[in-house]
Amino acid sequence: MLPLWVIVGVLTIGGMVTAGVTYYFTPKYTRVGYTPSQPVAFSHRIHAGQLGMDCRYCHSFVEESGHANVPATQTCWNCHQHVKKDSPNLAKVVESMETGEAIPWVKVHQVPDYAYFDHSVHVNRGVSCVDCHGRVDEMTKVSHDQPMSMSWCLDCHRAPEQKLRPLDQVTNLGWKPENVDRQALGERLKKAWNIHPPESCGACHR
Amino acid sequence: MSKRIWEHPAEQPKSRKYFRSLGELDDTPEFREWVAREFPQGAAMMADEADAGQSRRDFMKLMGAATSMAGFGLASCRRPESRILPYSKNVEWVIPGKALYYATVMPKAGGCTPLVVTTFEGRPTHVQGNRLHPESNGSVDGFTQASVLDLYDPDRARDFKQGGKKSTRDEFLAFLDAHKAELTAGAGQGLALLVDAVPSPTRQRLLARVTAKFPKARVFRYEALDFDGARVATEQVFGAGVVQVPHFSVCEKIVSLDCDFLDLHRPKAGTVSRFMNGRRAMKPGDSMNRLYVFESRYSLTGGMADHRLRVHASQMMKVTVALARAVAVATGDASLTAAAAGVKLEGSYKPRADYDAFVAETAADLVASKGGRAMVLAGPQQPAAVHALVAAINAALGAYQVAAGQSVPALELQQQEAAPAGTLEELAQAVQAGSVTTLAIVSAADPCYDAPASLKWADLQKSIKTVVHVGFRDRTATARAATWSVPGTHYLEQWGDVRSMSGVYSIVQPMIMPLLGGVSDLEFLSLLASDTPLAVKVEPVAPAAPMNGAVPEESKDPGYLAVRETFAALATGEVEVAWSLALRDGLLAGTRWPAFTGALKPASVATLAGGFQDTAAPTKDAFEVTLVPDSKLWDGRYINNAWLQEMPDSISKVTWDNAALLSVRTATELGLDKYLRDEADTLVIEVGGQSVTVPVIVSPGHADHAITIALGYGQAGKGAAGPGRVGEGTGVNVYPLRATASTYWLAGAKVTVPGTKVPLATTQEHHTMYGRELIREGTAERFAETPAFATTEGMDSHIPPDYTFYKQEGRQGQIGATGGLFGTTPHLWDKQHQWGMVIDLNACIGCHSCSLACQSENNIPTVGKRQVIIGRDMNWIRMDRYFAVDVEGGKATEGKEWEYAETSGAVAGGADENSDHAGGHGSAEPARELDDPEMVVQPVACQHCEAAPCETVCPVNATVHSEDGLNLMVYNRCIGTRYCANNCPWKARRFNYFDYNKRANTEREGSLLDLHPNNLYLGPLGELKEDASLRLQRNPNVTVRMRGVIEKCTYCIQRIEAAKIDQKKTTRRQAAAAGVSDENLTVTAEDLRIPTDTVKTACQLACPSDAIVFGNLRDNNSAVSKLRGNKDIVGDEHGVDPHPRNYQTLRYIGARPRTSYLARIKNPNPALLAASPIEKRKVGQASAHM
């Protein structure tokens, strides 16, 4: 028979290790809050927040393609050939326009290569940008808002009614309808739009 | 090592035995051991290690060290930073993540293959056929399918080279300027151009410009596989520039004399489908065409034949004469009688006892369909005399007439534009005479390697002062020996044009800028013909850019400008509009060659046929050697293409090598090993003063005392001096045996058996299934009598309905069921989509287009010869090729008597027996079944069983079912136990033993880390692939699998999911168009159903005979529902019945596969069956196996 303190000690250490792994080794800890510095100090807070630009002005193919494209330099240039053209913050944009070299944006959200997330099907079926990306319109530097782990995906796939909203509010990140029961609205939309999010592996893993 | 085997029901006595290898037929102990080991690599690997002088223990030690080193790496582990690089300026039409499709064609000698190319952000990744093109049914052949890999070949030509040393474009242009000045001074004296046989109008025009600038310059044309016979014959019998286009769709009777028109001699991309349309047998009693094939080795066309006779390639004239006589008698055609009588034949020939009856009945059958419904085709490698006589037979049969109710004749004659050019022989004479000082080779051919030995071209080329070689491959003997080697472009990165076989003007459109800045053939000729100095750098332009007119005219690709100029002369109406349409469709309509209006000249037929030099039939002292184009490398130009190298040959199932094919009888006589595994006997062949040593494969159905060897292998050299990393050291070069470019067989060969063995990778015994037969076949007659014969025979006749070992319905916890892990919904709950596939064995010819299309679409790696030998080939679709012999009921279980069962008992009038062998095979032994078996093919991939045996054994749920009926393989869950592959009755699963995608598969020598001579075995310490360019070919929508996971056919799930997503978006757009606010939008389940037959798998699209049908079984209108039936899916009252020929393989297991097959139907000639007991025995009834 082992001494009691050994048993208690092993159990405690074991419990601590388990708890530690459960918390620290998950995307909730490792990913959320990741805020890399970008080569151009682009502020979503100014553009999407203060100026009220729609997400789709820059991420123009989000409704068409699986990728929500990062805009071409040309998109920046549409406005910035007139606005603040000489600002040192925009030096890399000007340089990119002149040389044709891409601006090397740092990737914030990354799903594994074997997972195929499709933006278009989500935004076309009433899932808002904010549900995965958070209040980007309030971020000066874009930061990883949600864990984006598989179980987190499935939370919503199993109960989409929590997140569904009218299609014209998908890019309205601050949408807070008054006197509307989100749960009831979600359930109604889910039924009307025949939403059955896939839960089989093949939906994302090919 | 051996595993427990579920006792399958005892085999019933059967009349027909199907086998893939002779080992399987004779059930040798080696074969049994191979089958019993699910993964036979274990022992082989130990053997390898012993060879290398290393032990497994050493390997483990080093691996341990490697792991601990990797542990240090973990200390600094943090999220790797990755970058997103968007375009700086938006590119027209490009949506990141979405494919773009462009029409183009792949130029080939004498024509082209029309294509639609898939590109992702400018990278071509996959090709499929262009249905808009009148010559195509939307399919592609293997060469074309694999050509996309060549584009990214790291060993392709990349640098300008002068005398083998790296140079630059500017230096080359400076040289060209100076050299042109020299040439101009002498009016082009001494300039010669050597081009290939691609019929490009623009190239022809530019060549004319070059000869206008240098009036004394001469143009020569050369293809290693020049099919001179057909050309010379049509030229003399009809007129210069006449081309004969066969229309299979109108033919009832087709005779092939050594013509592999379904595979290697396929005239057009749509040929196979049009031939099949005449024999689809969709309803009992439907009329079917009938195919007679006379050939020396089994070809795919021979495999499809209703009647096949083994005839030596060199003896084809004797058969032609016999056929001509019989046709002449029946039709009373005097000129044919005269022509046939004028042929001087050497000795008599009787390939089989029933030869006379065979020819007589064939001729009678042809004559019965005369007047535009019967034709005879001679193989392009046959001499002009045979073609001339065949043209006369066709004329007598009225094949050039239009039959009543048809719009085209069986054989249409068209008048091509003449493009005169000299031959390589003439060029060689000019070089010998010293009249060539500058030679420009603008060609894919490699004359230093593949020119006839008698020319001694390599020496001749050295004697020319200046040789400029422009080509896509510069790792060729010709390019290495050239003064200047100019990197050419791939057809996917250049502008160009081609006249297809029937003359349709087709445009070659670039998909991508030249990856390595190559020079296209048109650009080179433009440079040569240009009057302005070239020292100014010419920048080629991006393909899509000219649309907006932003690119200044003078900086455009000269190839583009040249093609536009040709196009402007051809197009009618608004040229810009016509150009845009032509780019979209890939062709300019209304540009077929005009019809040839002349008639056959009987006098020329008589002259050609009378001048024929016949040879005696081969004997055991004087073998015949037949040289054929390779089904994968063609003339050798695709030697560095790993997909093609690893694709098993359609008949011999050899990968990474060529081999000598011999008949069973000849191999037995020579004492060679019939049961090939890993190693093959070698044979030394001496003929015409040349000698080669070749590995041997025994090929049932081959003519006796004859050897068939494929050309194109054995390109010499190692490393940078070799053909490239893939092609290095593969196969044996048999070009030196050829006397002229139109030599396809040699008589009087001596063979000796040195007794040595060489490793040979053949897949014919891989993934065998304990002899559980999958094939069902019958005759047209049987199909008319008992339409559903395939489902009522053998075991199928007495299994209870819905019998299954692997019950899944109602199984709880199935992933995909609603309500999470403990849901109660049945596992196939999707009411909109249930996927299924039907493969029509009647149409499948056994080529490997589907396999290659799958490889291209699904990022399937190649593994290399050593790995193939130990059974690790990765192709998801395995093409089984079975031979079948007739055995009398029950005998097979008692012994092997049937193997030696004489056909004599079956031959009427045993007196024929002796003359048979005296004349034909020079042997006193009677004919054996094995000498002349039938051949059938069957593609097998994952069957997507509803009650899948693989799913029940996976310990980690890495293979599960989706709600729409797919058997999913989840790579990220797979831990590599391989239980699933073990339990798969179809052997359809493949395992990634190594990081084939990531690590170089190179043999290593002399390194300290040499635990194993192959880099793959070093695991994480191994070198990464240097050839990063190959990554550009990958399909971004399919995971690139790493080491340790199982993979298999997914029914192209990426295409299905993309279509589902598209459908979900469409409904919203429709609602928006209808003006409904989205909150009031109602989307029904029906709205979310993908439109009928809009998802097509890669294999389905690539299939030349449209044998693969895929679709939604929940949709009664889909093609697959109509063939497979869907009452089991939607219920008896709503569903449709299956096609009578539809059957499931291994139905008695009860796995309920979603892939089913349609039984094969043969259409034998009843009169021939009555006249020849041998044919009666040979004709397939049905697989009564089990």
Express each pLDDT in A50-96 by its tens digit.
Answer: 999 999 999 999 999 999 999 999 999 999 999 988 899 999 999 99
Percent of chain B clearing pLDDT 70 (strictly above)? 84
B88: its two tokens: 């700086």
Distance (Å, whole) CA A177 – CA A184: 13
Quick check: A72 and B90 CB within 8 A? yes
* Same domain (yes/no): A113, A199: yes
Residue ranges making up the domain that contains A182? 62-68+108-203
- Please tell me which residue, B899 or B852, carries the higher pLDDT value: B852
Decide if A121 and B1064 are in contact by the 8 Å CB cutoff: yes
* Nearest C-alpha neighbor of B414 from the set B575, B243, B550: B243
Q: Which residue of B has its CA nearest to A69?
A: B96
Residue B286 has pLDDT above 70, yes or no: yes
User: Regarding the domain delimited by B242-415, which CATH topology (the fold level of the hierarchy) does it fall under?
Assistant: Dimethylsulfoxide Reductase; domain 2 (3.40.228)
Cα within 13 Å of Cα(B723), Cβ side: 24
| pLDDT given for residue B914 in this prediction | 37
Confidence of residue A33 (pLDDT cuts 50, 70, 90): confident
pLDDT tens figures, B252-263:
999 999 999 999
In a domain, A7, yes or no: yes
Class of domain B618-762: mainly beta
Angle separating helix axes B169-185 and B521-529, nearest 10 degrees: 50
pLDDT tens digits along B463-475: 999 999 999 998 9
Q: How confident is the model at residue A29 (pLDDT cuts 50, 70, 90)?
A: confident
Region of residue B1052 (left: phi > 0; alpha: psi -120 to 50; beta: else): left
| Interface subset of B 1062-1101, CB within 8 angstroms of A | 1064-1065, 1068, 1078-1085, 1087-1088
B948 close to A (CB below 8 A): no
**Which residues in chain B have Cβ-Cβ distances shorter than 8 Å to A99?**
88
- Nearest CA of chain B to the CA of A4: how many Å? 35
Tokens at residue A176, please?
A: 């807070």
B-chain residues near A172 (CB < 8 A): none
- In this complex, do B88 and A96 lie within 8 Å of one another by their Cβ atoms? yes
Q: Given an 8 Å threshold on Cβ–Cβ distance, is B86 in contact with A199?
A: no
**CA distance readout (Å), A18 to A4, A28, A150:** 21, 16, 20
Higher pLDDT pick, B1182 / B235: B235
pLDDT at residue B422 is higher than 60: yes
A169–chain B nearest CA distance, Å: 10
Which residues touch B575 (CB under 8 Å, ≥6 apart)? B567, B568
Closest by Cα among B643, B638, B661, B625 to B713: B638
Q: What does the pLDDT average to over B327-342? A: 92
Q: Looking at residue B923, what is its pLDDT?
A: 38
Q: In Å, how far is B30's CA from the nearest CA of chain A?
A: 38
* CB-based contact, B1052 to chain A, within 8 Å: no
Contact between B618 and B685 (Cβ < 8 Å): no
Q: What pLDDT sits at residue B538? A: 52
Range 454-513 of B in CB contact (< 8 A) with A: none
Binary contact (A114, B961; C-beta < 8 A) = no
Residue B692: beta bridge partners? B685
> Which of A190-204, B424-438, B772-786, B839-853 has the lowest average pLDDT?
B772-786
Question: Which two structure tokens, joined as six digits, stand for B419?
Answer: 């493009």
Nearest residue in chain B measured CA to CA from A37:
B81
- Taking only Cα atoms into account, the Rg of chain A, rounded to an integer number of angstroms, comes to 22
**Is pLDDT above 90 for B925?**
no
Instruction: Copy the structure tokens of residue B542.
Output: 């991006």
**Cβ contact A65–B1085 (<8 Å):** no
pLDDT tens figures, B1074-1133: 777 777 788 888 889 999 999 999 999 999 999 999 999 999 999 999 999 988 888 888
Q: Which of A64, A72, A202 sits opposite B86 (nearest CB)?
A: A72
Neighbour-count burial for A42-52, b at 16+ CB within 10 Å, e otherwise: bbbbebbbeee
The mean-pLDDT minimum among A13-17, B436-440, B515-519, B972-976 falls in B515-519
How many angstroms away from the CA of A40 is the closest CA of chain B?
13
pLDDT at B771 over 80: no
Please determine, for residue B541, whether its predicted confidence score (pLDDT) is greater than 60.
no
Domain ranges across chain B: 150-226+419-585, 242-415, 618-762
Confidence bin at B1182 (pLDDT 50/70/90): very low
**Is residue B677 predicted with pLDDT exceeding 80?**
no
Looking at domain B150-226+419-585, does it have CATH number 3.20.20.70? no
User: Residue B891: which pLDDT band, with cuts at 50, 70 and 90?
Assistant: very low
Percent with pLDDT over 90 in chain B: 53
Say yes or no for a CB contact (<8 Å) between B1079 and A114.
no
Q: Tell whether the model's pLDDT for residue B896 goes beyond 50.
A: no
Would you say residue A195 lies in a domain? yes
Q: Do the Cβ atoms of B83 and A106 come within 8 Å?
A: yes
Which of B87, B964, B1051 to substitute to test the interface with A, most A CBs within 10 Å? B87
pTM of the model: 0.89
pLDDT at B18 (0 to 100): 78
Residue B731 to residues B716, B728, B847, B1144, Cα–Cα distance (Å)? 10, 9, 21, 39
Q: How close, in Å, is residue A199 to chain B by CA atoms?
A: 5
pLDDT at B23: 77
What's the whole-number mean pLDDT along residues B580-593?
92
Evaluate if residue B213 carries a pLDDT over 80: yes
Task: Please give the average per-residue pLDDT across A43-49, as a whole number.
Answer: 94
How high is the mean pLDDT of chain B?
84
Mean pLDDT, range B519-528, rounded to an integer = 92
Per-residue pLDDT, averaged over B697-718, amounts to 92
The DSSP code for B947 is T
- Cβ–Cβ below 8 Å for B88 and A202: no
Q: What is the mean pLDDT of residues B654-669?
A: 91
- pLDDT of B323: 95
- Chain A interface mutation, best of B81, B91, B1055, B1078, highest count of A Cβ atoms under 10 Å: B1078
Give the C-alpha separation, B641 to B615, whole Å.
38
pLDDT at B535: 64
Q: Distance, in angstroms, between B1064 CA and closest chain A CA? A: 7
Report the chain A residue with the minimal C-alpha distance to residue B77. Answer: A30
- Using a CB-CB cut-off of 8 Å, the residues of chain B touching A70 are 84, 86
Q: What is the mean pLDDT of residues B69-84?
A: 60
CB contact (8 A) between residue A167 and residue B84: no
- Asked if pLDDT for residue B924 goes beyond 50, the answer is no
Instruction: Locate A28 and state its tokens.
Output: 């909730």
Q: What is the pLDDT of residue B46?
A: 42
Domain count, chain A: 2
Distance from CA of A125 to the nearest CA of B (A): 8
- Annotate B548-573 with three-state secondary structure: HCCCCHHHCCHHHHHHHHHHHHHCCC
Q: Specify the pLDDT at position B679.
A: 86
CB contact under 8 A, B87 and A66: no
> What average pLDDT does range B833-850 have in this prediction?
94
Res B768 pLDDT > 80:
no
| Model pLDDT for residues A113-170, shown as the tens digit of each residue | 899 999 999 999 999 999 999 999 999 999 999 999 999 999 999 999 999 999 889 9
- Residue B832 near residue B1063 (C-beta atoms within 8 A): no
Tell me how far apart the alpha carbons of residues A201 and A150 are, in angstroms, rounded to a whole number.
Answer: 11
Q: What average pLDDT score do residues A185-195 get?
A: 91
Give the pLDDT of residue B798.
Answer: 67
Residues sharing a CB contact under 8 Å with residue B1013, sequence separation 6 or more, in sequence order:
B48, B52, B1003, B1004, B1005
B chain contacts of residue A168, beta-carbon cutoff 8 Å: 1078
